[in-house]
Amino acid sequence: MTTTTRTALRAALYTRFSTVIQASTADQVRVCERLAEREGMTVTHRFADEAISGGTSERPGYQAMLAAARRGEFDVIVAEDFKRFWREQAEQWRAIKELLDLGIHIVTVSGMDSRQASFSMMAAVMGAAAELDRTEAAYRTRRGQEGKALACRPTGGKAYGYRSTVLPDGAKALAIVEAEAKIVRRIFREYAAGTSPREIAARLNSDGIPSPGASWNRNGSGQGKRSDGKWQSTAIHGHALRGTGILNNPATLGASNGAGRDGSADTPTASSASRSKRPRPSIPTPTSHSASSRRDFGTR
């Protein structure tokens, strides 16, 4: 009588959460490990993405998982549910095809299993539901931000030169951080004088001034923080249409009355014709948080 030894499948766990409110993937890991143990799998890899939407494929943990799959380092991927993998159908179907072509199974604690005949149908339903849920969540977020703006309240996000504060009535508002506001005014003066964002960043780094990302803890786990504390030119010029970067952020532009601290109009002194044609940003000046200043902040 011949005894056949069953080789345990090598399993990779994938966990993900989208917002900073969810502080850990530990619960997901626990239930995934439980499923792997029940199915006789050997967990060999763990991949995680924290505070990153499933609507993008640009996730470090996700990309590392795909790279390991291409190297044949495991046989099955285990996640808590289908939404941990994807919330965007184009990437979902591309990745599913690639993984199945590589001979890698997809299993979730919620009951999805690529080894089952019903997998494609279930993937279509779950994928469409996940993408719809993401679309509706984005709509609710925009609706909430609009409500805050109409109520003259900050709509979220970080802006260099400001900090969040709580007013006597319990509402949130923004307060100017004077030490950072001095740097903002310096950036506007140098840019108006014809200095490029790249050169401004180099000067700030030379003077040992920490960049905005040097202290921001974007997702509560320390990730997203610039470990070297250096300024990048993109932090200064940003994107004009998106309103990002210090020179284009409405939060820094909105605090200005169009004049310098002495009340005189800011006049660029660029030496070249090309620089003299650039937009001439005004230099923000500190303002007290009267009702009118809170209104300016809230509508940005």
Give a three-class secondary structure readout of 178-198: HHHHHHHHHHHHHHHCCCCHH
Same domain, 178 and 121: no
Same domain, 166 and 86: no
- Residue range(s) defining the domain that contains residue 128: 10-134
% of the chain at pLDDT higher than 70 = 74
Q: What is the pLDDT at residue 133?
A: 87
Same domain, 169 and 288: yes
Whether the per-residue pLDDT at 155 is higher than 70: the answer is no
The answer to whether residue 157 sits within a structural domain is: no
Q: What is the pLDDT at residue 170?
A: 75
The answer to whether residue 153 sits within a structural domain is: no
Whether the per-residue pLDDT at 226 is higher than 50: the answer is no
The answer to whether residue 111 sits within a structural domain is: yes
Q: What is the pLDDT at residue 29?
A: 96
Phi-psi region of 53 (alpha: psi -120 to 50; beta: other; left: phi over 0): beta
The answer to whether residue 25 sits within a structural domain is: yes
Residues 6+ apart with CB under 8 A from 47: 12, 13, 14, 15, 61, 62, 64, 65, 68
Whether the per-residue pLDDT at 31 is higher than 60: the answer is yes
Return the ∠ at Cα 121 (arms to 119 and 122), rounded to 5°: 65
Same domain, 15 and 114: yes
Whether the per-residue pLDDT at 219 is higher than 90: the answer is no
Is the entire prediction scored with pTM above 0.75? Answer: no
- Residue 18 has, within 13 A of its CA and on its CB side, a CA count of 13
Residue type, 137: A
What 3-state class would DSSP assign to 77? strand
Whether the per-residue pLDDT at 288 is higher than 50: the answer is no
Q: What is the pLDDT at residue 161?
A: 84
Same domain, 118 and 217: no
Residues 6+ apart with CB under 8 A from 29: 13, 15, 46
6: confidence class by pLDDT, cuts 50, 70, 90? low
- Count the domains in the chain: 2
The answer to whether residue 255 sits within a structural domain is: yes
Strands 105-108 and 76-79: parallel
Q: Residue 259 in contact with residue 182, Cβ under 8 Å?
A: no
Q: What is the pLDDT at residue 249?
A: 82
How far is the first Cα of the chain from the last one, in angstroms, to the nearest whole number? Answer: 78
Q: Which residues pair with 122 in a beta bridge?
A: none
Q: What is the pLDDT at residue 245?
A: 86
The answer to whether residue 144 sits within a structural domain is: no
Q: Residue 85 in contact with residue 12, Cβ under 8 Å?
A: no
Whether the per-residue pLDDT at 150 is higher than 50: the answer is yes
Same domain, 285 and 171: yes
Q: Residue 163 in contact with residue 177, Cβ under 8 Å?
A: yes
- Give the domain CATH number at 29: 3.40.50.1390
Q: What is the pLDDT at residue 175?
A: 82
Residues 6+ apart with CB under 8 A from 163: 174, 175, 177
Same domain, 66 and 120: yes
20: confidence class by pLDDT, cuts 50, 70, 90? low
The answer to whether residue 150 sits within a structural domain is: no
- At residue 117, φ and ψ (nearest 5 deg) are -65, -25
295: confidence class by pLDDT, cuts 50, 70, 90? very low
